[in-house]
Structure 1
Amino acid sequence: MTASSEPLRIAFSPCPNDTFVFDAWVHGRVPGAPALDVTFADIDITNGMAERGEFDVLKVSYAVLPYVLDEYALLPSGGALGRGCGPLVLTREPGARGTPLLERGRELGGLTGKSVAVPSERSTAYLLFRLWAADTVPGGVGEIVVMPFHEIMPAVRDGRVDAGLVIHEARFTYQNYGLHKLADMGEHWEDTTGLPIPLGAIIAKRSLGADTLKLLAESARTSVLAAWDDPEASRPYVMEHAQEMDPAVADQHIGLYVNEFTAGLGEDGYAAVRGLLTRAAAEGLVPPLGPNALAFP
């Protein structure tokens, strides 16, 4: 595969972290990288694309990996892991500050039997939520309501659901809706594992061959490094697709989700992915991984 070959079909979200990561590659500033034919789609859509075997390269939730790794390989660069960047559970009423999560959850009925809006049941956010609930919500939550993530905070504010699981820039804007943070799924994950939070993965079709997969991984890494070297170069592309997001919020978004693990998963990154999917499989949330499922050519 060379840069002059037929463009590879890639799908990723219009969120600032993805456009920041891929800007240099998309615009031909990564020497030797394959050309890309970009489709923008929210991660719940790209998860479905991966399960149907569509597109050559996709940004997906780590939670979907157990369903797609026969056809796709996990690339070690370009994805999103981090610390202090996990999904939040929001409610209309504040929890008692300074109390342990378990006690705070009990004060609010532990969410036992309560309705919770989530952006997807095939998302890392949902897996982290279910692992948190298994530890802190005696009796388990009630109805799970799937809705687009931008509708979740209004639904909690308006009392249509008891709580909401939010992601992305909602970390910075939920107080504008008069909502309160009940718990941070990332804090729970980090406190119980010591590992970074696995969020979004870059996958590519195994049928492209080992040499092309290695080239894709190196192209993603080079694109990340180029974005760090000259952040202003990516700003027009980021803001064009940021859905009227305030530039300061876009910068916060990039700062949280583009980090050392985006350049390369490394030992801790791979341990985090294995840990999440192993624990989720033990809870019956996903199928178990094969022994070499995460291996990269």
Structure 2
Amino acid sequence: MGVHRSKLEVAISPCPNDVFIFSGILLQKVKSSIDFEVHFYDIEELNRFAIKGSYPVIKASFAILTELSKTYQVLDTGSALGFGTGPIVVAKSLPYPQRPKVGLPGEHTTANLLFKAFFPEEYDEVFLPFYQIIPKLLEGKIDLGVLIHEGRFVYEGYGLKLVYDLGALWEKIHKLPLPLGGIFVKKDLPSEFKQEILNSIKASLRFAKENWCEVLPLLKKHAQELDEETIKKHVETFVNDYTESLGQEGVLAIKTLAQYQGLKEDELKDLFWGTDNGCP
């Protein structure tokens, strides 16, 4: 008799860090009892799907913990958080006008949460897919743009000027890595199944780290910026020690961001799933 196999639908972004983490799974290099069916969406689409509970495993922003904490847990592996990784605010020209029109990469993103917390002036918000923000700035359709993903690495090449580094402001206040997004798993899945999901993602990440040349074409297939150096810089920035395991500092950072959303400590007691950090 063959080993029983379970099918699992997973939703992630096409950004290099997510694709890198899941590349071992996508390239079928991971031994697992799970058949992964991976879907790709923009981060704001992912957040909306997560709020609806559409996928058993999904990448989502840590800015929507209020909506997700009752039905999902954060997997110990796969998160994007760190130092020097935060959203940045840029302009085509300075000074920018009073009450600027600001392009934001989605209502439910960590970028939007931080911008609201740290931007001191009145502004008009325009929600856009993240990859449209630089073009809209260059066209003069918006005055300021909040950049995430590859945008923080390429904005200078478009002649754009840095106004604020929201991640640096967070780090100055909290002395913690900035939590951007993580891989969420439905709480009601069996414990053994959740552990197999986690083990598979860990193995996938391990494969990616050991096989850059094999993984690169897959990253290029999905990336918005195709330049290899930009893709490599993106992966090196957003895939780090916290991606492998949140550790106590990563857990504390996520709990700190949860406070910005009005969540209390007792509402977060079973938020994490993994083998460390006091997780199940």
Give the drift of 1:64: 1.8
Give the drift of 1:204: 1.1
Q: Greater shift after overlay, 213-222 or 263-272?
A: 213-222
Q: Does 1:118 align with 2:104?
A: yes
* Distance in 1 separating the partners of 2:14 and 2:5: 25
Map 1:162-201 → 2, pairs under 5 A: 162-201=143-182
Map 1:98-137 → 2, pairs under 5 A: 108=95, 113-133=99-119, 137=120
Give the drift of 1:232: 1.9
* Distance in 1 separating the partners of 2:250 and 2:143: 34
Give the drift of 1:29: 2.1
Stretches (4+) displaced over 3 A = none
3-state SS of paired residue (1:85): coil
Give the drift of 1:293: 4.4
Give the drift of 1:212: 1.4
Distance 1:275 1:184, change over 3 A: same
Q: Does 1:43 align with 2:47?
A: no
Q: What is residue 101 of structure 1 aligned with on the other side?
A: none
* Distance in 2 separating the partners of 1:63 and 1:246: 30
User: Which of these residues, 182, 190, 198, is aligned with residue 217 of structure 1?
Assistant: 198
* Distance in 2 separating the partners of 1:244 and 1:262: 22
Q: What is residue 155 of structure 1 aligned with on the other side?
A: 136
**Contact kept? 2:12, 2:40, Cα under 8 Å:** yes
Higher percent of residues as strand = 2
Distance 1:59 1:3, change over 3 A: farther
Q: Does 1:294 align with 2:275?
A: no
* Distance in 1 separating the partners of 2:254 and 2:98: 28
Q: Which runs of 5+ in 2 are unaligned?
A: 274-279
One-letter code aligned to 1:84: G
**Contact kept? 2:65, 2:261, Cα under 8 Å:** no
* Distance in 2 separating the partners of 1:240 and 1:77: 24
Q: Identity over aligned residues, as a percent?
A: 33
Q: Greater shift after overlay, 31-40 or 189-198?
A: 31-40
Q: What is residue 240 of structure 1 aligned with on the other side?
A: 221
3-state SS of paired residue (2:188): helix
One-letter code aligned to 2:84: G
Q: What is residue 99 of structure 1 aligned with on the other side?
A: none
TM-score, scaled relative to structure 2: 0.90
Give the drift of 1:141: 2.5
User: Which of these residues, 122, 125, 139, is aligned with residue 144 of structure 1?
Assistant: 125
Map 1:243-262 → 2, pairs under 5 A: 243=224, 245-262=226-243
Give the drift of 1:3: 7.4
Q: Does 1:276 align with 2:253?
A: no
**Contact kept? 1:116, 1:141, Cα under 8 Å:** no
Give the drift of 1:181: 0.4
Give the drift of 1:6: 3.1
Give the drift of 1:112: 5.9
Give the drift of 1:243: 4.1
* Distance in 2 separating the partners of 1:112 and 1:259: 39
One-letter code aligned to 2:116: R
User: Which of these residues, 151, 176, 186, is aligned with residue 205 of structure 1?
Assistant: 186
Q: Does 1:63 align with 2:63?
A: yes
Q: What is residue 54 of structure 1 aligned with on the other side?
A: 54
TM-score, scaled relative to structure 1: 0.85
Give the drift of 1:131: 2.1
3-state SS of paired residue (1:144): strand
**Contact kept? 1:116, 1:142, Cα under 8 Å:** yes
Give the drift of 1:222: 2.1
**Contact kept? 1:221, 1:262, Cα under 8 Å:** no
**Contact kept? 1:115, 1:163, Cα under 8 Å:** yes
3-state SS of paired residue (1:35): strand
Give the drift of 1:146: 0.7
What RMSD, in angstroms, separates the aligned Cα atoms of the two structures?
Answer: 2.0
One-letter code aligned to 1:23: S
Q: What is residue 276 of structure 2 aligned with on the other side?
A: none
Distance 1:160 1:240, change over 3 A: closer
**Contact kept? 2:57, 2:183, Cα under 8 Å:** yes
Give the drift of 1:154: 2.4
